[in-house]
Copies of this chain bind each other. A is one copy, B any other.
C-alpha cells in the first residue's frame, strides 16, 4: 500500500506540474494575443481554458480518491491537501490568462493597449510565464531554494505593476478613461497570476519543510 500510495502521489504531482505548464503557455499566448491584437491566438487561449478546468477536476478527483482509499495522515495528508489547494490556484491562473485573451478579443481589431504601456505588459507576460515555469520546476524537483526565486519574480511583477500605475496616474495620460480601465484590470490579472504562482510554490515548500513561508498575499 505504501508503494501504491507513493506512485499515486507522484502522479498527482505530475498532474499539477502539467497544469503549471498549461497555464504558463496560456498566459504567454494571451499576452501575445494582447500585444499583437491576434484574434486567432486569443480564441485559442479561450478555447483551451476548458482543458485547464478539466485538469483541475481530474487532479481533484484523484486527490479525493487517494484520501478515501488510503486515508493518509500527518505529512502525507498535508501533501494531498496541498495538491488540492494548488490545483485551485492553477485553475484560477488559467482563468486570468483567459481574461487577458478575452480583453484582446473584445477590442479586436483595435489594440487594447496604448503604445506607452505595451512594454510593461510584454514584461509582465514574460515574468508571469517564467513564474509558471518555476512553479512547475518546484513541483518536479521539490527544490525549496527555487521556490524563493519565485518571491523575487513576484517582486519584479509588483514593481512592474507599480510603475504601470505611475504611468496611468500621470496627469498627462492622453489615452482616455476606457483605455485606463482596460489597463487597470489587465494589470491586476497579471499581478494576481503571479500571486497564485507564489502560492502554488509555497504549498510545495510547506509540504517539504513543514512550514508555510511568509504567505505572499495580494497587497493591493
Contact = CB atoms under 8 A, between A and B. Distances in A.
Interface in A95-130: 95, 99, 102
Interface string A161-202: 000010011000100011011001100100000000000000
Interface stretch (A5-13, A15-23, A73-81): A73-81
A50 to B, nearest CB: 12
Nearest to A175: B177
A184 B165 CA distance: 13
Interface residues of A, number: 29
A165 B180 CA distance: 12
A145 interface: no
A214 interface: no
A68 B64 contact: no
Contact of A81 (B84, B169, B180, B184): B84
A181 B171 CA distance: 13
A177 B177 CA distance: 6
A28 to B, nearest CB: 20
Given A68-B73, A81-B64, A88-B88, A217 B95 contact: yes
Nearest to A183: B181
A99 B192 CA distance: 14
A85 interface: yes
A219 to B, nearest CB: 9
A218 interface: yes
A71 interface: yes
A181 B178 CA distance: 10
Contact of A74 (B68, B73, B178, B180): B68
A47 to B, nearest CB: 16
A64 B78 contact: yes
Give the most central of A68, A85, A95: most B CB within 10 Å.
A68
Nearest 6 A-B pairs (CB), nearest first? A71-B71, A177-B180, A184-B184, A68-B73, A99-B220, A181-B184
